[in-house]
Amino acid sequence: MTAVIKEQKNFIAEHRPLQESKEREVMLSLSDCSLSFGEVQVLNQVNLDVYRNEFISILGPSGCGKSTMLRLMLQLLGPDKGGQVTYTSSDLSLGMVFQKPVLMPWLTAVQNVTLPLELGNKKKFTKQEAREKAESALRLVGLQDFMNHFPHQLSGGMQQRAAIARALAADPTVLLMDEPFGALDELTREKLNFELLRLWESPETSLSSIVMVTHSIQESVLLSDRVVMMSPRPAGVTDVIQVPLPSPREAGMEELPEFHYTVKELRKRVKHL
Ligand SMILES: Nc1ncnc2c1ncn2[C@@H]1O[C@H](COP(=O)(O)OP(=O)(O)OP(=O)(O)O)[C@@H](O)[C@H]1O
């Protein structure tokens, strides 16, 4: 058993090799991005590179512009003049998971996951392919026995799993997540955090990088390689902290001194904002 776990760890390490900073590949970048809604300036000169094979958390005060930053990354919004959002990687494909699962109540789990794959003018998948991709994504998130359940028949955690499956079914290389577990109870949240890491590390998904907005300092330290801290609005990046925990992350790492030290350091910096 131990040998199998060790083998899996080695596989994960090979699958997701740590890159030296000078050779790290940038997947997408925000350069000097400011953004205003009318008179209200929300973002101020935000600079951030998202690298291949990394997990980034974004922490910042409520209303500072974290979701707006994700919408910039998705190019649903454009920055003010002078700013630039650049997609640098040739295999970049973005997926999004929102705080609320936003499932169609009249569709089953598998129909909800299939729907976006069938929409749009340039249909990438046939009906049959879309269905197979949806079923395989639902299996990945552990909902194989609930494919034909309607959203009201699923718990909050299961609904969020379905929303993650919906994003994964389109084979994104970068997954953007806006407080995906914020509305869940602590135990479910903890469970889903580790499930998310497992999905990220799995060779069965196309995921390379994850950018997650969270309000939890502990969650950000446990999950991420880097924590990006934002100031109050108009928000800029005040700090980028490299988390010194070993990879892959595992349950129990919250007991390590590096974990406590990093949480303490982030708390100190949040207080100074
Ligand atoms: N479409 C919009 N039109 C006008 N103002 C907007 C729009 N979207 C966001 N805002 C404003 O931009 C600011 C930043 O919003 P955003 O949702 O990005 O913050 P946030 O950091 O994600 O907040 P929270 O942590 O509370 O979720 C807020 O003051 C919000 O009211």
Residues of the chain with pLDDT under 70: 1-22, 120-123
- 222, 252: one domain: yes
- 148, 34: one domain: no
Q: What's the Cα-to-Cα distance from 207 to each of 78, 155, 168, rounded to whole Å?
A: 25, 25, 8
- 159, 224: one domain: no
Give the Å distance between the CA of 176 and the centre of ligand 1.
17
- 56, 73: one domain: yes
For residue 193, the Cα-to-chain-centroid distance in whole angstroms is: 11
| 16 vs 54: CA distance, rounded Å | 9
pLDDT of residue 24: 86
pLDDT tens, 13-28? 444 444 445 578 999 9
pLDDT of residue 191: 87
Nearest to 193 by CA among 149, 246, 102, 254: 254
- 38, 121: one domain: no
What is the number of structural domains in the chain? 2
| 146 vs 156: CA distance, rounded Å | 13
Give the Å distance between the CA of 235 and the centre of ligand 1.
11
Specify if 1 maps to a domain: no
Q: Of the residues 116, 150, 171, which one is the last residue of a structural domain? A: 171
Starting at the edge strand found earlier in the chain, the sheet holding 94-97 runs: 94-97, 174-178, 209-213, 55-59, 226-230, 237-242
- 192, 251: one domain: yes
Q: Determine the atom of ligand 1 nearest the C-alpha atom of 215.
A: 25
pLDDT tens, 171-190? 999 999 999 988 888 888 88
Nearest to 166 by CA among 232, 104, 246, 106: 104
| 245 vs 228: CA distance, rounded Å | 16
- 180, 56: one domain: yes
CA-proximal residue: ligand 1, atom 8 (nearest): 68
Q: Of the residues 112, 146, 171, which one is the last residue of a structural domain? A: 171
Q: Determine the atom of ligand 1 nearest the C-alpha atom of 69.
A: 18
pLDDT of residue 21: 53
Reading the block at residue 192, the tokens are 């889903």
Q: Of the residues 171, 187, 215, which one is the last residue of a structural domain? A: 171
Q: Determine the atom of ligand 1 nearest the C-alpha atom of 71.
A: 18
- 161, 263: one domain: no
Specify if 11 maps to a domain: no
Reading the block at residue 189, the tokens are 């949240």
Domain holding 184: CATH number? Answer: 3.40.50.300
Q: How many Cα atoms within 13 Å fall on the side-chain side of residue 166?
A: 27
- 128, 261: one domain: no
pTM value?
0.89
- The range of the structural domain enclosing residue 261 comes to 24-93+173-273
pLDDT of residue 234: 92
- 263, 222: one domain: yes
Give the Å distance between the CA of 64 and the centre of ligand 1.
7
Give the Å distance between the CA of 66 and the centre of ligand 1.
8
| 124 vs 118: CA distance, rounded Å | 8
Predicted-assembly ipTM surpassing the 0.90 threshold = yes
